[in-house]
Structure formats: structure tokens, C-alpha cells
């Protein structure tokens, strides 16, 4: 009898461990809830950035102004009426420098404070102006990587990536010959740099060297049917891709496998940003409906 009870106990423990493993896998799989509209009436919204004081900032690429959203109410942080900006795109909230902005109209990287005062940080490389600064990522509050596309086309390989040190002012071109480099992010799993090469419908990854140069370029994945545009990582290393023209947010595992395809409210999702008190609110800018949306994510977002 004791032997039978012992076997039953072993069997029960095995089933319990199996259930725990299954539940754990389910918890680790990224999930997104239904999209909710936050605000509309924008002009090609892009580059959402979450600030430490609980505001969402975003560019209006075709309107020449930066919007600030707080408790779902929209106002203007800065506009081209002040002659301080032209057409911003990618944004990044910096703890001490305020809002960093890629301005493709000016061909510059800007810093914008809470009062809308604008400082031009850099506007060219080796005596030549930038092309069209598009999007950026900041590591450790000082190491900036930004994309600089020019012409759009699969064979128009004139896009570049730059590195800029906010403390020392060091500026380097770290990649070139890209077909419209776009969204950019750093993985929490392998600390590689991920970049959308939009005109070739694919995402590239690079190793970041000790001196912040890029090497070991690899193709992570090809996403036909639209342009991979904005990128965001969660803390587990899953990559969230706004698939412009593909009407999807696509989530890719650290191993490079698609684990989720979430329909978007319009066909032109442009960029993403995690925010909210627990970094589990995922914001989306969408350019067919010219609106910004939000959803609840099962995993918290990552900030390098």
C-alpha cells in the first residue's frame, strides 16, 4: 500500500511541475490587449516618448509641432511657428537634457526643454549636413545612436547610422550603405543594436564594440508586405515592430521568431513606446488614422 501511495505522490508531483512549467511559459509569452484611442487629429504622428513626469510626447511630422499628452489631453510643447524646429520625427526623453529630437527638416539632433526652448546639439558630420535624421536610442544617458536615411528605395543605399556622445561631443559614422535606416533600439538580452532597414523590409542587428562602433552586421528577420518602422523592446528581450503598411504590430522573440501579430487600428502603424507607472502601457502612433492609441502589455518595456 505504501508503495502505491508513493507512486501516486510521485505522479501528482510530476503533473504539478508540468502545470507550473506550462503556466510559466504562458506568462512569458508577450500578449497585448485591445487598442484604445488616446487622441486624434494629428499630422503623421511619429516618435512617441514617455517622460518621467507621466506625459507622452510625439512628433507631427507633417505639421511641424511636438504634441504633449497628459491624462489624454493634448497640448503643444513646441512648433515651427517659433522657428526653432522644422519637422521632428524620433524622440527620446532624457532625464537631464529634456526631449531629444531627430529633426529631418533641419537635418539636426535637438534638445527641447519643458518650456519648449530648443538647442541644436549637432547638425552635420565632417563639414557636411546630415541627410534626414529619423530615429534614435540612448544608452546610459549619454551614448546616442541615430539613423540618417536619405532617398527611399530598395536600391537607394545612401542611409547611415551615427553615434554621438552627449557628454564629450564625440560624433562617429558607424554604418553606411543602408536602404532607408529607420527605427532603432538596443536589446536587453545581448546588448546588440537593432535597426529597421525599411526599404528592404528587414531588421538588422549589430554588435556594439567597446569603443561604440558597430560590427558583425546580421539580418534578424525579413518582414515583407510593409516597412518595419519603429522598434521597442520589453525587459525579456522581445522586439515590438510597427509594421508600416502591414497593419500590424509584430512581436519577435530574442531567438528571432515571430510570437505575436497584433492588428492595428489603421494600416500605417509608425512607432511604439512603453510608458505608464509600471511600463506596461504600450503606445502606438498610426498614420492612416492620424491618431495615437494605447494597449496593456503583459510585459514591461525596457529602457537602456
**pLDDT tens digits, one per residue of 109-125:** 999 999 999 999 999 99
Domain ranges of the chain: 1-30, 31-296
Q: Taking 90 as the threshold, does the pLDDT of residue 304 lie above it?
A: no
Q: What is the pTM of this model?
A: 0.91
pLDDT digits 0-9 by tens, 40-83:
999 999 999 999 899 999 999 999 999 999 998 999 999 998 77
Provide the percentage of residues in the chain whose pLDDT is more than 70: 91
**Average pLDDT for residues 154-181, to the nearest whole number?**
98
Q: How far apart are CA 245 and CA 126, in angstroms?
A: 36
Please spell the DSSP secondary structure of 48-114, one letter per residue. Answer: EEE-TTS-EEEEETTTTEEEEEETTEEEEEEEGGGTS-S-EEEEEEETTTEEEEEETTTTEEEEE-T
**pLDDT reported for residue 1:** 47
- Residue 28 · residue 236 · CB < 8 Å: yes
Distance between start and end Cα atoms, the chain: 59
pLDDT, averaged across the chain: 92
- Check whether 2 has a pLDDT greater than 90: no
Architecture of domain 31-296: 6 Propeller (2.120)
- Compute the distance between CA of residue 6 and CA of residue 25 in angstroms, rounded to an integer: 29
What pLDDT band is residue 215 in, cutting at 50, 70 and 90?
A: very high
**Other beta carbons less than 10 A from residue 209's beta carbon:** 11
Q: Which residues contact 291 (CB under 8 A, 6 or more apart)?
A: 37, 38, 39, 40, 41, 42, 45, 265, 266
Helix (H) or strand (E) holding 171: strand 171-178
pLDDT in tens, 251-291: 999 999 999 999 999 999 999 999 999 999 999 999 999 99
CB-based burial, 224-243: b 16+ in 10 Å, e otherwise: eebbbbbbbbbebbbbbbbb
Q: What is the pLDDT of residue 72?
A: 86
Residue 141 parent element (H or E): none
How many angstroms separate the CA atoms of 62 and 246, rounded? 21
Amino acid at each position: 500500500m505504501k508503495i502505491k501511495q508513493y507512486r501516486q505522490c510521485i505522479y501528482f508531483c510530476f503533473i504539478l511541475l508540468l502545470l507550473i512549467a506550462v503556466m510559466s511559459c504562458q506568462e512569458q509569452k508577450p500578449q497585448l490587449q485591445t487598442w484604445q484611442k488616446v487622441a486624434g487629429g494629428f499630422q503623421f504622428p511619429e516618435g512617441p516618448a514617455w517622460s518621467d513626469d507621466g506625459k507622452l510626447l510625439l512628433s507631427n511630422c507633417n505639421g511641424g509641432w511636438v504634441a504633449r499628452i497628459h491624462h489624454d489631453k493634448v497640448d503643444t510643447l513646441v512648433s515651427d511657428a517659433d522657428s526653432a524646429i522644422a519637422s521632428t520625427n524620433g524622440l527620446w526623453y532624457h532625464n537631464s537634457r529634456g526631449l531629444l529630437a531627430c529633426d529631418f527638416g533641419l537635418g539636426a539632433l535637438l534638445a527641447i526643454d519643458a518650456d519648449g526652448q530648443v538647442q541644436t546639439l549637432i547638425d552635420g558630420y565632417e563639414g557636411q549636413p546630415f541627410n534626414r535624421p529619423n530615429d534614435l536610442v540612448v544608452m546610459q544617458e549619454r551614448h546616442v545612436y541615430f539613423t540618417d536615411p536619405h532617398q527611399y528605395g530598395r536600391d537607394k543605399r545612401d542611409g547611415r547610422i551615427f553615434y554621438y556622445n552627449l557628454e564629450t561631443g564625440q560624433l562617429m559614422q558607424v554604418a553606411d550603405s543602408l536602404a532607408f535606416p529607420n527605427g532603432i533600439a538596443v536589446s536587453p538580452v545581448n546588448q546588440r543594436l537593432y535597426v529597421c532597414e525599411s526599404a528592404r523590409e528587414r531588421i538588422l542587428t549589430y554588435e556594439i564594440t567597446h569603443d561604440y562602433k558597430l560590427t558583425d552586421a546580421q539580418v534578424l528577420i525579413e518582414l515583407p508586405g510593409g516597412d518595419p518602422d519603429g522598434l521597442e523592446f520589453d525587459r525579456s528581450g522581445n522586439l515590438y515592430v510597427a509594421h508600416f503598411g502591414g497593419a500590424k504590430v509584430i512581436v519577435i522573440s530574442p531567438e528571432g521568431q515571430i510570437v505575436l501579430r497584433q492588428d492595428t487600428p489603421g494600416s500605417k502603424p509608425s512607432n511604439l513606446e512603453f510608458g505608464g507607472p509600471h511600463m506596461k502601457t504600450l503606445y502606438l502612433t498610426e498614420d492612416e488614422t492620424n491618431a495615437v492609441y494605447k494597449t496593456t502589455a503583459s510585459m514591461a518595456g525596457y529602457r537602456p
